[in-house]
Structure formats: structure tokens, C-alpha cells
């Protein structure tokens, strides 16, 4: 009885291991593959609007549609590809962060809903807004403004 139990456990282990090694077949439908999911602006001057463009590719086999793109607060404004992104093609989500009156560190999220069933994507931007007085003390000849892309 002990030998039979050991044999069954061994066979179960081998079958699970071989199943785990099989490659997962590609899902039907659209798939969004982002080049980056987080952007760090670093130190930026208070009062500017810092912008960054997140790029993605539709790696699926059907058109990808961005249904909605929402920022976590009113200081961050997203703009995005309104037309369907065909398989193999790229799209973008441009994010603008308004630093006016917001000195200090920031970390914001951008939530994306698409026609991919049961999937929501979240992108992030972060950085530190330096008050204008502090920026002038550091190096008045060097521009502290850093924009993505």
C-alpha cells in the first residue's frame, strides 16, 4: 500500500511539473504591452506642467480600445489614443502634472480601462516639486525642469 501511494504521489508530481513547463497559449483578443509603467520626473520646478508620454503596443490579435483613462487627482491630466490600436501597432497615454502650488514629493496613479476583459492597468508618475526659492538657491544657471520622452 505504501509503494502504491508513493507511486501515485510521484506520478502526480511529474505531471504537475510537465504541465507547468508547457508554454501558455496566447490569449485571443487585444493585449496591451507598455514600454514603462512608472515615470520619475525627478526634481522639477514649482509652477511648471511636467509631461510624459507612456507608449504601449497591442500585442494581441484584435483591436485594442482605451475606454477610459483616469488620474488619481485633478493635478494630473491624461490624454490618450482615441482610435482603436490595431494588433502590432502602438498607442500613447500622455500625462501632464501641474506642479503649481504643490511643493514636495508626489506619487500619482493613472488607471486605464480597455476592452480587455477583466483587466485594469495602472501607470504611475512621481517626482519632487522644488519651491521656486529653493531652486534659485541651488544653481540659477541650470534649468531644473525635466520633461519625459
Domain membership of residue 105 (yes or no) is: yes
DSSP 85: B
Q: State what percent of residues in the chain have pLDDT above 70.
A: 71
The alpha-carbon radius of gyration of the chain (Å, integer) is 23
Domain membership of residue 40 (yes or no) is: yes
CB 133 within 8 A of CB 24: no
Q: Is the dihedral of CA 80, 83, 88, 90 positive or negative?
A: negative
Count up the domains in the chain and report the number: 1
Domain membership of residue 118 (yes or no) is: yes
CATH, residue 98: 2.60.40.10
Q: Which of 101, 98, 122, 120 is nearest to 110 (CA)?
A: 122
Domain membership of residue 91 (yes or no) is: yes
Q: Which of 34, 66, 36 is nearest to 126 (CA)?
A: 36
User: pLDDT tens digits for 63-90?
Assistant: 999 999 999 999 999 999 899 999 999 9
Number of residues in the chain:
149
Q: Which of 44, 52, 56 is nearest to 71 (CA)?
A: 52
Q: What is the pTM of this model?
A: 0.71
pLDDT tier for residue 22 given thresholds of 50, 70 and 90: very low
User: pLDDT tens digits for 121-134?
Assistant: 999 999 999 998 76
Instruction: Give the domain range for residue 71.
Output: 32-138
Q: Give the whole-angstrom CA distance, residue 39 versus residue 74.
A: 18
Amino acid at each position: 500500500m505504501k509503494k502504491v501511494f508513493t507511486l501515485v504521489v510521484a506520478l502526480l508530481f511529474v505531471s504537475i511539473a510537465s504541465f507547468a513547463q508547457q508554454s501558455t497559449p496566447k490569449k485571443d483578443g487585444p493585449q496591451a504591452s507598455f514600454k514603462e509603467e512608472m515615470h520619475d520626473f525627478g526634481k522639477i520646478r514649482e509652477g511648471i506642467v511636467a509631461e510624459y508620454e507612456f507608449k504601449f503596443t497591442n500585442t494581441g490579435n484584435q483591436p485594442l480600445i482605451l475606454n477610459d483613462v483616469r488620474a488619481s487627482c485633478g493635478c494630473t491630466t491624461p490624454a490618450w489614443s482615441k482610435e482603436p490600436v490595431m494588433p502590432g501597432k502602438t498607442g500613447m497615454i500622455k500625462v501632464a502634472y501641474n506642479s503649481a502650488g504643490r511643493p514636495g514629493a508626489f506619487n500619482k496613479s493613472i488607471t486605464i480601462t480597455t476592452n480587455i476583459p477583466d483587466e485594469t492597468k495602472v501607470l504611475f508618475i512621481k517626482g519632487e516639486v522644488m519651491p521656486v526659492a529653493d531652486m534659485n538657491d541651488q544653481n540659477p544657471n541650470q534649468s531644473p525642469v525635466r520633461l519625459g520622452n
